[in-house]
Amino acid sequence: MHKTQVMRFELTKDFLEKLNDAIARQNSTWIQDNVCELHDADIATIIDELDEDGAVYVYNLLEEEVQGDILMELDEDLREEILKSFSTKEIAEQVEQLDSDDAADLMGELPKSQVEEVISQIEDDETAEDIVDLLNYDPDTAGGLMQKEFMKVSIDWPVNRCVLDLRKQAEEVEKVYTIYVVDESEKLLGFLSLKRLLFAQPTTKIADLHQNKNVISVKTDAESEEVARIMEKYDLVSIPVVDLNNKLVGRITIDDVVDIIKDEAEKDFQMASGISENIESDDSVWKISRARMPWLLIGLMGGVFGAQVIAGFEGGIAEVPALAFFIPLITAMGGNVGVQSSAIVVQSLARGTDQFGSIFKKITKETLVALLNGFILSVIIYGIAYVFDSSTLGLVVSLSLFTVIIIAGIFGTLIPLLLDKYKIDPALATGPFITTLNDVVGLFIYLTIGILMYGI
Amino acid sequence: MHKTQVMRFELTKDFLEKLNDAIARQNSTWIQDNVCELHDADIATIIDELDEDGAVYVYNLLEEEVQGDILMELDEDLREEILKSFSTKEIAEQVEQLDSDDAADLMGELPKSQVEEVISQIEDDETAEDIVDLLNYDPDTAGGLMQKEFMKVSIDWPVNRCVLDLRKQAEEVEKVYTIYVVDESEKLLGFLSLKRLLFAQPTTKIADLHQNKNVISVKTDAESEEVARIMEKYDLVSIPVVDLNNKLVGRITIDDVVDIIKDEAEKDFQMASGISENIESDDSVWKISRARMPWLLIGLMGGVFGAQVIAGFEGGIAEVPALAFFIPLITAMGGNVGVQSSAIVVQSLARGTDQFGSIFKKITKETLVALLNGFILSVIIYGIAYVFDSSTLGLVVSLSLFTVIIIAGIFGTLIPLLLDKYKIDPALATGPFITTLNDVVGLFIYLTIGILMYGI
């Protein structure tokens, strides 16, 4: 019987306490037995939970060959601290352990003054060249995402020559998904799965074995969101990257793209929540504060406009103070409906669906939804406002609520579509922006109807 | 020279017009040359843009072996329509073309009465058995996600026997990422990359070649979000699924999980935007309306509570109508700050980070951010309200704004944490719920301070 090893590590408070204890007592044996044996990703999770000194201590106990990969999985701030404790020579050693894309990312995080020095300390010339090359690309493009490690074969070779050559290439490439097929000038012609190669006759020519129909690739300057969309659409685990001459220069793997897909989806949520930078809950007070300020200022200005609208009706409110009762209801409902409508539009734009649906059709549908919801809610609020104060107030509130819901629905649909048309991120429309606009418009409608109905 | 085939299809309005024209004139040659040659995913995108009759027409022109895959990529409603035009025999033929996970998903969409009939029409017994087995699992678990197509070898075999056996297995398995290693009772012991197998000596035993450290797997009853989190954390492109006895029963590939990762991130956005079901912009008016209603009713009730608060201060407002001016500002700012604070908490909970950060630390930080933002905004609004009306109103508005921002920040942090503690989705707290709560509390603070300062 073979021992079954299937299990997954769960980080518990108890484990962390034991670890901190071991660190305090410099008990390296306990750490080696209980931490260093785990999966890289688990080790990174554990180190992320330690304080700086503890993190550096545990990191230095790790086997050299896994250090680099773990370093790249740590929180950026902690990685910076660990790197500070290293000489440029030591950093160069870590960099040599990494895949070229991670190596370039790491160099990008170093102070500019250090980059050249670290590169000059890298012993393997080819590695250094690859990194320098990758640093030329914008990090948010396919060139910035790609790695130089991939497997390629020439279209003129037979299978047995490929296997020999790939055996050499395999030393450099950690994960092989697809073998790319190129011509004598390195132009991408097609691809070949390892599976096909494994089961082919040794003398079969690659030209007869490879797939050359619907080869999906991206150019180095493709935006990373575009890369993510293509890999998602075509269900790819890796995608070849070519230059303007269609020469194969790198590949991007799905694990790097999953993060982009997630960040994209989260960005809309942050926009809708009024946060303008990508922040996390452990960022500094200053950074969090700064990221929220723009939206709060928009809200503040909206509130001032709202005050101006109400001030225009001061006489009316002095005469019928009950009119003030439902001000928050009108503004809240306008905001809610506006955010709901815009969220749907933003999401379908982000998904890239409905590209040919006409604006007119969308507005019509949104108006129908608003009519239906507006009607139901108006009837409810009429009853409540009637009991609350009077049938006049009931009529004022229900009529204006109905109008506000319809206008908010139309604004909520139209504005993100317009922003998108003018190449502005439509998610801008879902946050405090649309709420504020609807507040001002809603107030005006409500108070106008109020003045008219009360005959003030 | 070999012809370069690298290019990507872009769907244009012009292309769609030509296609609709070809459909109208039953020009099957044009469609075969211009549509059927494309990548499956592109064909699906095109068919999704057609009307029902056009979609069925183009679908029937496709080669039989790609029909199933394309069917699974279509919009659900359209797929339903296409399936309606088929006999159960024809559906069974389509199902046989599919991977077992897609086949089970398709069966899950059929009316219950049809499922048995279709299964009885499937010619290959093993395929039918696999589907019946998969239908037993909850679709939102690892069992419901997995496919029965994977490659496995016995730990006792040598490499050459494996290659022979895998050649047979390869006919069933479209994409091979990892070969799983099992013992004589099918228990999962480890894994092996195709790369390792390709370059190994023919007589090497699998026992000496496979990796058995840190084997990551999931149980059939693991929730799909859990599967997504694990694959993301460990950068996996496929994960083995085992039953309670650790017997290998299936595998899940990353392409199916990417959709879950995206849906998860989008769900928070929808919650924050006040939409309670997963809807898309092309759903029916009724469905969209129903999905939004619960949030609007919460907003309405909040507005009624707000009205009650203001009514309690009716005398004060009658005396100083200017107090009403800044009601929308106070409610809007309370809402904005609350949503900002809760969004950060919801996101870090969703990411699974900060699991050991104490609640007290979070509240302290959020209070600091609120103090800072509250101070800046209060100074600004004091100046504005002073110019607007009087220094008394300036003091009332700035004092209450300051208080409301701090309370909203604390509520926004605390409520999602509490919901999470009691196993309720914390994203509930980001939407209209927290806005409404902050509205009511904010109004009370504002009007109380107003009454006190004006000495009414």
- DSSP one-letter string for A348-400: HHHHT--TT--HHHHHHHHHHHHHHHHHHHHHHHHHHHHHHT-HHHHHHHHHH
Six token digits for residue A314: 């001061």
What's the pLDDT score for residue B4?
43
Six token digits for residue A16: 């962390």
Six token digits for residue B217: 């797997």
Residue from the list A254, A328, A347 with its beta carbon closest to the beta carbon of B266: A347
DSSP H/E element including B157? none
Instruction: Judge if A117 and A37 occupy the same domain.
Output: yes
Could you say which DSSP state residue B428 is in?
Answer: G
Query: Rounded distance, CA B292 to CA B8, Å?
Result: 39
Residue B288 has pLDDT above 70, yes or no: yes
Instruction: Judge if B426 and B294 occupy the same domain.
Output: yes
- Segment A108-130 shows an average pLDDT of 89
Residue A1 has pLDDT above 50, yes or no: no
pLDDT band at B421 (very low <50, low <70, confident <90, very high): confident
Residue B5 has pLDDT above 50, yes or no: no
What's the pLDDT score for residue A288?
81
Is B363 within the bounds of a domain? yes
- Say which range, A68-77, B5-14, B284-293, has the weakest mean pLDDT: B5-14
Instruction: Judge if A236 and A370 occupy the same domain.
Output: no
**β-sheet with B178-182: strand ranges across:** B151-154, B178-182, B188-193
Q: Do B329 and A303 touch (CB under 8 A)?
A: yes
Q: What is the pLDDT of residues A221-269, one digit of tens each?
A: 999 989 998 998 898 999 999 999 999 999 999 988 988 888 877 777 7
pLDDT band at B1 (very low <50, low <70, confident <90, very high): very low
- Say which range, A44-48, A123-127, A334-338, B174-178, has the weakest mean pLDDT: B174-178
Q: Do A314 and B302 touch (CB under 8 A)?
A: no
Last residue within a domain, chosen from A136, A163, A192: A136
What's the pLDDT score for residue B6?
43
Contacts of B212 in chain A (CB under 8 A): 2, 5
Q: Among the ranges A356-365, A427-436, B205-214, which has the highest mean pLDDT value?
A: B205-214
What's the pLDDT score for residue B277?
60
Residues 6+ apart with CB under 8 A from A208: none
Last residue within a domain, chosen from B85, B108, B137: B137
pLDDT band at A278 (very low <50, low <70, confident <90, very high): low
Residue from the list B37, B233, B325 with its beta carbon closest to the beta carbon of A307: B325
- Segment A314-319 shows an average pLDDT of 86
How many residues would you count in chain B? 456
pLDDT band at B398 (very low <50, low <70, confident <90, very high): very high
- Segment B324-351 shows an average pLDDT of 85
Instruction: Say if residue A64 is exposed, middle or buried (CB neighbours under 10 Å; 0-12, 13-18, 19+).
Output: exposed
Q: Do A317 and B314 touch (CB under 8 A)?
A: no
Distance from the Cα of B327 to chain A's closest Cα (Å) equals 7
- Say which range, A166-180, A238-252, A265-279, has the weakest mean pLDDT: A265-279
Is B4 within the bounds of a domain? no
Q: Which domain holds residue A409?
A: 285-454
What's the pLDDT score for residue B65?
84
Instruction: Judge if A118 and A22 occupy the same domain.
Output: yes
Instruction: Judge if B133 and B221 occupy the same domain.
Output: no
Nearest residue to A91 (alpha-carbon basis) of A53, A47, A123: A123
What's the pLDDT score for residue A197?
83
Q: What is the pLDDT of residues A9-44, one digit of tens each?
A: 788 888 989 999 999 999 989 998 888 888 999 999
Instruction: Judge if A328 and A430 occupy the same domain.
Output: yes
Residues 6+ apart with CB under 8 A from A281: B344, B345, B347, B348, B353, B354, B357, B362, B365
Overall number of domains in chain A = 3
Instruction: Judge if B291 and B415 occupy the same domain.
Output: yes
Is B406 within the bounds of a domain? yes
What's the pLDDT score for residue A413?
87
Instruction: Judge if B257 and B289 occupy the same domain.
Output: no
Distance from the Cα of B217 to chain A's closest Cα (Å) equals 7
**β-sheet with A151-154: strand ranges across:** A151-154, A178-182, A188-193
What's the pLDDT score for residue A3?
43
Last residue within a domain, chosen from B115, B137, B159: B137
Q: Do A321 and B314 touch (CB under 8 A)?
A: yes
Q: State chain A's mean pLDDT as an integer.
A: 86
Instruction: Judge if A434 and A290 occupy the same domain.
Output: yes
Say whether B153 sits in a helix, a strand or coil. Answer: strand
Q: Among the ranges A343-357, B259-273, B439-453, which has the highest mean pLDDT value?
A: B439-453
What's the pLDDT score for residue B455?
80
Instruction: Judge if B418 and B295 occupy the same domain.
Output: yes
Instruction: For chains A and B, count residue pairs whose Cβ atoms are closer than 8 Å.
Output: 399
Instruction: Judge if B156 and B131 occupy the same domain.
Output: no
Contacts of B37 in chain A (CB under 8 A): 213
Is A225 within the bounds of a domain? yes
Residue A274 has pLDDT above 80, yes or no: no
Distance from the Cα of B224 to chain A's closest Cα (Å) equals 16
What's the pLDDT score for residue A260?
87
Residue from the list B285, B348, B389 with its beta carbon closest to the beta carbon of A368: B285
Instruction: Please state the pTM of the whole predicted model.
Output: 0.80
What's the pLDDT score for residue B380?
92
Nearest residue to A309 (alpha-carbon basis) of A279, A331, A292: A331
* pLDDT top residue among B277 and A350: A350
The CATH code of the domain that includes A22 is 1.25.60.10
% of residues, chain A, pLDDT over 70: 94
The CATH code of the domain that includes B176 is 3.10.580.10
Six token digits for residue A136: 């030329």
Q: What is the pLDDT of residues A87-111, one digit of tens each?
A: 889 899 888 889 999 999 999 888 8
Q: What is the pLDDT of residues B69-111, one digit of tens each?
A: 899 999 888 898 888 888 889 899 888 889 999 999 999 888 8
Q: State chain B's mean pLDDT as an integer.
A: 86
Distance from the Cα of A89 to chain B's closest Cα (Å) equals 29
Q: Which residue of A has its CA nearest to B303?
A: A329
Instruction: Say if residue A315 is exposed, middle or buried (CB neighbours under 10 Å; 0-12, 13-18, 19+).
Output: exposed
The CATH code of the domain that includes B349 is 1.10.357.20
Distance from the Cα of A112 to chain B's closest Cα (Å) equals 30
Residue B182 has pLDDT above 80, yes or no: yes
Residue from the list B194, B342, B435 with its beta carbon closest to the beta carbon of A332: B435
- Segment A167-193 shows an average pLDDT of 88
Instruction: Judge if B106 and B187 occupy the same domain.
Output: no
pLDDT band at A152 (very low <50, low <70, confident <90, very high): very high
Is A141 within the bounds of a domain? no
Say whether B250 sits in a helix, a strand or coil. Answer: strand
Q: Which residue of B has its CA nearest to A441?
A: B328
Contacts of B155 in chain A (CB under 8 A): 2
Angle A100-109/A64-73 helices, nearest 10 degrees?
60
Distance from the Cα of A300 to chain B's closest Cα (Å) equals 6
Query: Rounded distance, CA A111 to CA A94, Å?
Result: 16
What's the pLDDT score for residue B2?
44
Residue from the list A317, A354, A372 with its beta carbon closest to the beta carbon of B324: A317
Query: Rounded distance, CA A260 to CA A262, Å?
Result: 5
pLDDT band at B339 (very low <50, low <70, confident <90, very high): confident
Nearest residue to A332 (alpha-carbon basis) of B231, B307, B10, B269: B307
